[in-house]
């Protein structure tokens, strides 16, 4: 599978994350999966006229383009011209290159939240008119339009995240190379379901505190960060706490709330990332699939049954009360 990787309006963080893949031979892992990296702006030696010639060959069909990966939001400004981002040495807006290449690609892949929905690049007043490949936040459309389908018949495959986990990117590319990713393998937002059908909450080491609604009150506390600290792990579609980062960590394991970076619009939550907005003391963002009345009833019951160990440890930066030792064998 011939793969072309382009970067547009973003920080390059998804490429940086990709280099943290759990392998000692990144290039060999791609080759072993039958993936040929034609060009990557940070990883490839070719530049200038050589790259322009490659793009021309891809557009002319002299070289097959099996997968077009785009990292970073597409900058349509000023006034829809796209001239905020010209591909160096061509004088042509990146959005024009992407449109043309997407038209000949067998698969089109958005790598990261910026390429998927606009992400951080589209935050605030969005002066660069940034958008995703096929979504503008949660609204279908983006640069390519809601009806776009690649030559494989798939919409844009959105590997959303800020940044993406290297495993999400590699497994998606390997599945595409093996023709194992079809429409049924994507969720309603075009994300691969192998990671998007899960929640960050799954596998969270703070789940006991969540069960008893024993909440952290400041960044160093051990308790659940949903009630006060802005954590959206019960709503965010990702497997961050079961597929760990760098083999051992995640945002919540590092003491930071999940900001739901795989979801459209996460960059503009309307409140500080580390604060939970509430109405009448009830968090506005409730766990996925949880009716508000059930949550209120469950929270009240859980708080009343919280063991002393859980309650005191929740607001401490280390374990202050250890579990009781009880005989577990036959009496």
Strand positions, DSSP E, 143-273: 157-159
Residue 233 predicted with pLDDT over 80: yes
Residue 331 pLDDT class (50, 70, 90 cuts) = low
Domain locations along the chain? 2-196, 199-318
CATH number for the segment(s) 2-196: 3.40.50.700
Residue 100 CA to residue 90 CA, distance in Å, equals 14
Instruction: State pTM to two decimals.
Output: 0.93
- The pair of structure tokens assigned to 121 is 């690049």
Within this chain, domains 2-196 and 199-318 share the same CATH topology: no
Radius of gyration of the chain (CA): 22
Instruction: For residues 24-37, give the mean pLDDT.
Output: 89
CA dist list (Å): 87 to 44, 136, 144, 149: 16, 22, 18, 24
**Bridge-partner residues for 278, per DSSP?**
283
CA distance 229 to 275: 5
Strand partners, 7: 71
The mean per-residue pLDDT over the stretch 308-313 comes to 95
Average pLDDT value for the chain: 94
pLDDT of residue 24: 72
Number of Cβ within 10 Å of residue 291's Cβ equals 9
**CB 211 within 8 Å of CB 302:** yes
Supply the angle between the helices 94-104 and 49-60 in degrees, to the nearest 10: 40
Over residues 158-194, the pLDDT tens digits come to 999 999 999 999 999 999 999 999 999 999 999 999 9
Cα separation, 223 vs 208, whole angstroms = 9
Predicted local confidence at residue 294, as pLDDT: 74
Which of 199, 207, 249 shows the shortest CA–CA distance to 225? 207
Q: What pLDDT does residue 25 have?
A: 81
What three-state secondary structure class fits 107? strand
Interval 104-145: pLDDT, tens: 999 999 999 999 999 999 999 999 999 999 999 999 999 999
Q: For domain 199-318, is the CATH number 3.90.550.10?
A: no
């Amino acid at each position: 599978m011939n793969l072309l990787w382009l970067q547009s309006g973003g920080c390059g963080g998804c490429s940086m994350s990709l280099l943290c893949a759990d392998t000692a031979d990144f290039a060999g892992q791609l080759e072993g999966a039958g993936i040929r990296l034609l060009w990557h702006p940070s990883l490839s030696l070719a530049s200038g006229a050589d790259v322009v010639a490659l793009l021309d060959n891809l557009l002319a069909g002299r070289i097959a383009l099996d997968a077009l990966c785009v990292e970073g939001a597409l900058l349509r400004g000023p006034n829809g011209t796209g001239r905020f981002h010209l591909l160096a040495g061509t004088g042509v807006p990146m959005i024009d290159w992407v449109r043309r290449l997407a038209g000949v690609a067998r698969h089109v892949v958005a790598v990261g939240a910026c390429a998927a929905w606009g992400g951080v690049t589209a935050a605030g007043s969005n002066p660069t008119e940034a958008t995703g490949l096929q979504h503008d936040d949660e609204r279908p459309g983006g640069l390519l339009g809601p009806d776009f389908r690649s030559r494989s018949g798939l919409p844009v495959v959105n590997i959303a995240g800020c940044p993406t986990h290297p495993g999400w990117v590699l497994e998606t590319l390997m599945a595409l190379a093996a023709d194992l990713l079809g429409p049924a393998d994507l969720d309603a937002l075009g994300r691969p379901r192998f990671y998007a059908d899960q929640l960050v909450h799954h596998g969270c080491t703070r789940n006991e505190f969540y069960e008893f609604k024993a909440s952290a009150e400041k960044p160093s506390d051990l308790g659940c960060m949903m009630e006060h600290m802005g954590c959206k792990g019960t709503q965010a579609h990702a497997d961050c706490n079961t597929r760990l980062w760098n083999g051992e960590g995640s945002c919540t394991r590092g003491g930071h709330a999940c900001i739901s970076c795989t979801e459209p619009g996460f960059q503009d939550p309307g409140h500080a990332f580390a604060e939970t907005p509430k109405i009448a003391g009830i968090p506005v963002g409730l766990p996925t699939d949880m009716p508000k009345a059930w949550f209120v009833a469950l929270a009240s019951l859980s708080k009343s049954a919280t063991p002393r160990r859980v309650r005191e440890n929740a607001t401490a930066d280390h374990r202050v009360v250890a579990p009781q030792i009880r005989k577990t064998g036959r009496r």
